[in-house]
């Protein structure tokens, strides 16, 4: 979660929200949240699990929404 916040602070093009899955079950179901953390970019799930900084940045920058 903190890496997402750091990225948002570092770039005006990035925003980051932590979302408590059990309080928003309809959204969690839509995003197919089973394992946490689940990282979603521009409404499209990308991966599950905490990753180191270099991997996080790579994956966020190469996120696809197709």
Partner 1 sequence: MAIFRPEDEEKVRELFAALERPVELVVALGPEETPLPGARDIDFGAETVRVVEELAALSERVTHRVGAEAERYPAVFIRPEGEEVGIRYDGLPWGYEVGTLVGAVLEAGRREPSLRPESLEALAALDRDLAIEVFVTPT
Number of residues that bind partner 1 (CB under 8 A): 44
Query: Is residue 18 close enough to count as binding partner 1 by CB under 8 A?
Result: yes
Query: Is residue 55 close enough to count as binding partner 1 by CB under 8 A?
Result: no
CA distance 32 to 28: 6
Residue among 12, 14, 13, 33 nearest 22 (CA): 33
Least separation, in Å, of the C-beta of 43 and partner 1? 7
CA distance 52 to 65: 22
Contacting residues toward partner 1, per CB under 8 A: 1-2, 4-28, 31, 33, 36-43, 53-54, 57-58, 60-61, 63
């Amino acid at each position: 979660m903190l890496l997402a916040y750091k990225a948002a602070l570092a770039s005006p093009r990035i925003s980051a929200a932590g979302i408590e899955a059990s309080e928003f079950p309809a959204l969690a179901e839509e995003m197919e949240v089973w394992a946490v953390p689940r990282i979603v970019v521009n409404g499209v799930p990308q991966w599950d699990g905490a990753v180191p900084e270099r991997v996080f940045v790579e994956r966020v920058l190469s996120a696809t929404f197709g």
